[in-house]
A = this chain, B = another copy of it.
Amino acid sequence: MTQLNETHDPALSSWLASANDANIGFPVQHLPFAVFRRAASQEKFRPGVALGDQIIDLAQLALRQPFSGLAAEALNTCTGPTLNALMALGNRHWSALRLALSQATRAGSVLQAVIEPLLVPQAQAEYSLPAQIRDYTDFYISIYHATAGGKISRPDAPLLPNFKWLPIGYHGRASSVVISGHEVVRPVGQARPASAGQPPSFGPSQRLDFELEMAMFVGPGNAQGKRITIDEADEHIFGVCLLNDWSARDIQAWEVQPLGPFLAKSFATTISPWIVTREALEPFRLPFNRPATDPQPLPYLMNESVKKGGVYDIGLKALISTEQSRAARHEPALLAHSNLCHAYWTLSQLITHHTVNGCNLQPGDLIGTGTMSGPNPDQALSFNELSVGATQAVKLPWGQERKFLEDGDEITLQAECTKPGYPRLSFGQATGKIRPAVG
């Protein structure tokens, strides 16, 4: 666990006024990374760091060589169309670059004159995937989501016996991960027959759903055959973003046995553009919260650091708008809210478990948490849970109701870190609108 350092000092403010505005949520304590360009331009995508309502163009900053040592080495990797090279460098470099950027953006910094001309307004930007994602893994670490989903398919034993012993995960499809704003075409496929022994139906999914998750980008990773221990795991977490694991429940119900979800999820996965570094999240650690009546983690998944502060306090929200609500200029409606602190396993435990068999992680790998539902009914982060397996319609404030997503619906995921006496950190958002199936 990284100690707090001068970059976490809540008293710091920036020479950029909008960075000091809590409504905007990108203070000098934050400094998340994305890959961006001016929207609808022919510019190359390049790395940037958020500050207030602006983006610092790191490719331009690198040309001006404002830093030295590890920070300069780290900044020099920020010139291409992805952050993979920065992710590969590791925690010492990431931390040095964060410190240099923190010092350069504080009120009074002599580097204000260098950086100010390199700012691009977020309002004028578009984003690409922040890394070339070689492998995408999705876990399933909310016990509330696992129990709610299990109740629908296995009322007698909703939680499987392995859940409390290991973080359950599966390999996802990397090619179809898209950045926020990309429209999602309703998938077509086979769906479970209405009754056993009948042929499956075939056509556009009738049970298209969202899932609010968080995800981490990995670096530097490990050689094949060599595991990452729990003591080392944090240093392989570059940062965190939002993830919408779009899911076609009817396709999933038919194909899932015996090898797990496949086409039900591989048509699209949306992530938010800003990667919030692990170091920025350090002030929001909470103690690992495992009930004493539950099995304690096996030794390879546990250490003092996890115990003291394994879980992050990150508030999560899912909102919806529909064609009708947008036409009537209603604000998007809150569907549910939750918090990453409900995770049964820590992010570091996911890293260690993933590599315990010798599986090699690589810089730019994306690892999802699974749907981060909380204990209460309004903390259910998918329609499948909100509608209790399509038995209860969810009422929207403008009079419509939903059991699953309809064409034209748009889901927006948001996250933020807040606590008294510390500037608010926004994660930005991950949006996606449903387009009709292709015939």
Contact = CB atoms under 8 A, between A and B. Distances in A.
Interface in A272-301: 295, 298, 300
A316 B74 CA distance: 50
A172 interface: yes
B254 A360 contact: no
Nearest to A365: B175
A267 B358 contact: yes
A166 B226 CA distance: 37
A109 interface: no
A423 interface: no
Contacts of A256: 258, 260
A134 B175 contact: yes
Interface string A183-194: 001011110000
A170 B356 contact: no
Interface stretch (A17-25, A44-52, A196-204): A196-204
Contact of A190 (B176, B196, B226, B298): B298
Nearest to A136: B171
A251 interface: yes
Contacts of A380: none
Contact of A357 (B172, B251, B365): B251
A5 interface: no
Contact of A225 (B174, B259, B262, B438): B438
State the copy count for this chain.
Answer: 2
A258 B160 contact: yes
A361 B168 contact: no
Contact of A260 (B199, B227, B258, B266): B258
A134 B133 CA distance: 8
A300 B260 CA distance: 23
A258 B140 CA distance: 10
Contacts of A168: 255, 258-259, 262
A42 interface: no
Contacts of A365: 175
Given A134-B174, A171-B172, A259-B170, A268 B190 contact: no
Interface of A: 134-135, 140, 150, 160-162, 165-166, 168-176, 178, 185, 187-190, 196-197, 199-200, 202, 224-227, 248, 251, 254-264, 266-268, 295, 298, 300, 353-354, 356-362, 365, 435, 438
